[in-house]
Amino acid sequence: MISDLENVGIGSFACVFGDLENKPENIPGFDALWQTASFGTDFADMGCSTYRKMNRPVVDHVVEAVRRSMSGSGARPADVGHLVIATSDPTLALLPSDFADQVLLACGLDDCVPHLVSYQRCCSSLTALRHARDLFADPDVTHVVMVALDFVPDDRDRVRPYALFGDAAVACTLTRHDPGLVRLVSSAVKVDPDGLRGQDSFASRKTVADRALAGALRAGRRQRGRLARVFAANLYKPLTLFNATSVGLPPDRLHFTETLAAYGHCGNADWVINLADYHERVGVRAGQTYLAQSLAPGFYACALLEGTAS
């Protein structure tokens, strides 16, 4: 018997990138910043050619993402009962206290309850997706929008260990009794205490990834070898491929290099960007299983998604 939560489709993925395009080498002191953050590595190996910077107010980008997603799903503002906002910890500290109010009013969401998911760094949006789906336990809920955002005001702060951050806001709409593009099969997020202390290692990162993946696969009754594609985080390419191999994910199943080249690492928005890009280039197929993943110092999150589009 199919549960009511399994009848919730996820679709109408919308990506709004920063409106200014820039090259990493144009950041003042870039070479020194990169070597300080990722000593001994060649930035050319990362695979990032450009990134996007928000020139308009961040709320404009978020509102645009939410409006695009609602429009693509056919949902009217009156249909949306909940708006789940996800962002990483540094971005959360930059948002005004009335940020959710601004988004609700600009989108005409007059009867919509806002939620916030954060403190899991770049893994926050995958937890937000599960929270958004679980809101359908209320039989009166018909539509929920999840929006994830991350941005960096100072270009010099974009250069982090094994990452070059870009700005983006992404959204998707969850709808009851609608196939959407995918459905959420299972998900998991786990904590690496060494990472919380700033003492993570390859071993600790592998351990937390193995635990999360095993949990999601077990709950979803799926096998790693049957994953059609992995929507990875847009981090330093050699490290991303190594991390995938270490936990049994075939590197040739990862989809991230195209968006990494154009946009860099957009925080907790990466998996949505990569899913949307893959669907545009190849197409998500009904019945196939996909893995969305994200990692950050102290955390690893993943979600199994099943294609539902005919």
Neighbours of 26 (CB within 10 A): 10
**pLDDT for the residue 6:** 87
Q: How far is it, in rounded angstroms, from Cα 136 to Cα 134? A: 5
- φ, ψ dihedrals at 194, nearest 5°: -65, -35
Cβ–Cβ contacts within 10 Å for residue 31, how many? 12
| Residues shown for the chain | 310
Which stretches within 108-256 are classed as H helix?
124-134, 193-196, 202-220, 237-246
Residues 6+ positions from 239 with CB-CB distance below 8 Å: 162
pLDDT at site 2: 47
pLDDT for residue 3: 65
Torsion of CA 209, 12, 93, 23, to 10 degrees: 80
* pLDDT at residue 244, rounded to an integer: 94
pLDDT along the chain (310 residues), means of 10: 79 98 98 97 97 98 98 97 98 98 98 98 98 97 98 98 98 97 98 95 95 97 95 97 94 97 98 98 97 96 92
